[in-house]
Amino acid sequence: MTKGEIKIQTLVRGGWSTTYTITDTNLDLFIDKAHRFAAAYKKWPFTEGRVSTTFASLATTEDGYLEGNYPEGWKSDSIRLLKIGGKQVDKKEFYKFTKFLEDNATSTDRIFSDYGRVYYINPNIDVSGTVTAWGQYTPASLVENDTVFVGEDEGNEAIIEMTMSYVYRRLGDDNNAMAHEITSRRTLDELWIRIQAEQYGYQVTPDDGMFKRFDVLEGGTIDTNENQF
C-alpha cells in the first residue's frame, strides 16, 4: 500500500474530507506517524537491513578500540551480525568486551561490542576489508512509496486504523480514537504471532551448539571443549 492509498482508505472509512475535516498536510503527518509506529512496533523481518563500509574508515578511540557509528536510522543495540572481510565477528557484552581486552591486550579474537550507538571492534583483529552489518532499522517518512508491510496486508490495515485514531484524537473524539488504536495494536500483535509461528521452521546447522560448555557462573558458553566429560 502507498501513502496515497492509505489516505483514501482513511478518508472513506471515516467519512471525512481534507476540505472540512482535516487538512491534507495534517493527514500526511498522521500517516507518517502511524507508519513509523507500526514499523517500530516489533522487530519485523521487513525492517531488517544490511549496510557495508570499509575497514579503513573505522576510527581508533583513545582506549585503542576500532569504532564505527551505527548506520543512520538503525535502532540502538540492533546489530546482530557483523562480518569483516567475509569473516564473522562475535558480539560480546560491552563490559566483558573491555575487560577481556584489558586482560588480553594482544588477543586477535574476532569480537566486537556496542555502546551508545557506536560499535567497537578488537583492534588486533586478524581480518580486514569490507565491514558488513546486519540489523534493524526504522523507516524514514513514507512519501509515496510502499509501506514496509509489502506482502503483509494486516500491517497496512494497522496503519489505517492508527491513522484514524490520530484523526479522531484531533477531532476531540477520544473514545473512537482509543477504539481504533486498540484495533491497530491487536492487528499487529496477531501478525507478529503468525510470523513467529513461521520462524519455528528454521533449521539449525549440524554443528550448532556442539562442543561448547555452559558457564553456570557467568552465563553463556565457553568455546573450548576441554574437560567436556
Residues 16-45 have pLDDT tens digits of: 999 889 999 999 999 999 999 999 999 999
Q: What is the DSSP string of the chain?
A: -BHHHHHHHHHHHHT--TTTTS-HHHHHHHHHHHHHHHHHSS--GGGEEEEEEEGGG-EE-TTS-EEEEPPTTBPTT---EEEETTEEEEE--HHHHHHHHHH-TT----EEEEETTEEEE-TT-S--SEEEEEEEB-----TTSB-S-TT-HHHHHHHHHHHHHHHHHHTT-HHHHHHHHHHHHHHHHHHHHHHHHHHTTPPPPTTTTTT-EE-TTT-SEES--TT--
What confidence score (pLDDT) does residue 200 get? 67
Residue written as grid cell 567475509: 86
Query: Does residue 131 carry a pLDDT above 80?
Result: yes
Contact present, 149 and 97 (Cβ < 8 Å) = no
Looking at per-residue pLDDT, the higher value among 222 and 179 belongs to 179
| Predicted confidence (pLDDT) at residue 224 exceeds the cutoff of 90 | no
What pLDDT is recorded for position 144? 73
* Alpha-carbon gap, residue 94 to 114, rounded angstroms: 6
Q: Taking 60 as the threshold, does the pLDDT of residue 51 lie above it? A: yes
pLDDT at 210 over 50: no
Read off the pLDDT band of 146 (50, 70, 90): confident
Cβ neighbours of residue 193 under 8 Å, at least 6 residues apart? none
pLDDT of residue 125: 92
> Above 90 in pLDDT, residue 226?
no
Per-residue confidence band for 225, with pLDDT thresholds at 50, 70 and 90: very low
Please, which pLDDT band fits residue 220 given cuts at 50, 70 and 90? low
Sequence ranges of the domains in the chain: 3-44+148-199, 48-137
User: What pLDDT score does 82 carry?
Assistant: 94
- End-to-end Cα distance, the chain: 57
Higher pLDDT, 215 or 110: 110
Residues 131 and 84: beta-carbon distance below 8 Å:
yes
As a whole number of angstroms, the distance between CA 35 and CA 29 comes to 10
Does residue 215 surpass a pLDDT of 90? Answer: no
Give the chain's mean pLDDT. Answer: 87
pTM (global) more than 0.85:
no
Residue scoring higher pLDDT (208 or 166): 166
pLDDT for the residue numbered 20: 86
Nearest to 156 by CA among 35, 45, 44: 35
Model confidence pLDDT, tens digit, residues 189-202: 999 999 988 876 66
How far apart, in whole angstroms, are the C-alpha atoms of residue 134 and residue 47? 11
Residue written as grid cell 586477535: 108
CA-CA-CA-CA torsion sign (25, 31, 35, 36): positive
pLDDT at 208: 55
